[in-house]
Chain A
C-alpha cells in the first residue's frame, strides 16, 4: 500500500496572491536595510577616524559590489518606507477593502521603483558620484 501523502505547511500550497509578494518584499527589504544600516555606521565611523580612514572607506563603498548593495538599498528604502506607511494606515483600521488594498499595493510597488530611482540619482549627485 502506497503511503498517504503527508500534509505540507500552509505556505507550500496556498495559491499565489499579490499580498504574499508585498508581504515577503517588506521583510526582504527590511533585511537589506539592516545591512545598509551597518554600511551607514561604517561610513560615519570612518569619518570619525579622520580623512585617511575616510578615504579608504569611500574607496570600499565606491567599489562595484558595495555600489550594487547601495543601489538595492535605495529601492529597499523606498519600498519599505511606502509599504510601512501603508501598514501604519492598516494598523489604524483603514484601507482593508479589497479594492483599496489592491490599489495601495500597486501604488507602493510602482512608487518604490520611481522614488527609488529618484533617491539613488539624488544621493549620487549629492555625494558627487561617489558612494
Chain B
C-alpha cells in the first residue's frame, strides 16, 4: 500500500487533461450551429432583397445582431476545430503542420473579429 495520494500516483502517467475537450467542443458548437445556421438561412431567405438598407434594418434588431455575433463566433470556432483535425491528418512534417495550423487559426481569428465588429457597427448605426 502506497502512502502517495491518488493524484500524485496518476500525475504524468498519461493524458487525463484536455484529450476530450477538442472532441466535446466540436459537438457543442455543432449543436449551436444547427440552430444558428438554420436561423441565418431563414433570415437571408426572408430579407426581401439584398439591399444595404435591408441588411442594416435586419441587424438593427438587437436579437438578430446577437444571433449574428453568436453565429460568427461559433462558426469560426467550429471551423478552427474542424480544419485543425483535417490539417493534422493530411499535413506531414512537424514544422509544416505547425505553420499551416497557425496560418489557418490566425485567418479565422481575424475573420471572427471582423465579423463581430461589423455586426456591432451595423447594430449601433452604420454611417449611411
Contacts and interface: CB of A to CB of B under 8 A. Distances in A.
Interface residues of A, number: 34
Given A47-B122, A48-B118, A88 B27 contact: yes
Interface of A: 27, 30-31, 33-34, 37-38, 40-41, 44-45, 47-51, 54-55, 58, 77, 81, 84-85, 88, 91, 119, 122-123, 125-128, 130-131
A128 B49 contact: yes
B84 to A, nearest CB: 11
Nearest to A30: B82
A16 B71 CA distance: 36
B30 A37 contact: no
Given A50-B128, A77-B41, A45 B115 contact: yes
A5 B30 CA distance: 43
Interface of A is mostly: helix
Interface stretch (B11-19, B72-80, B94-102): B72-80
B70 interface: no
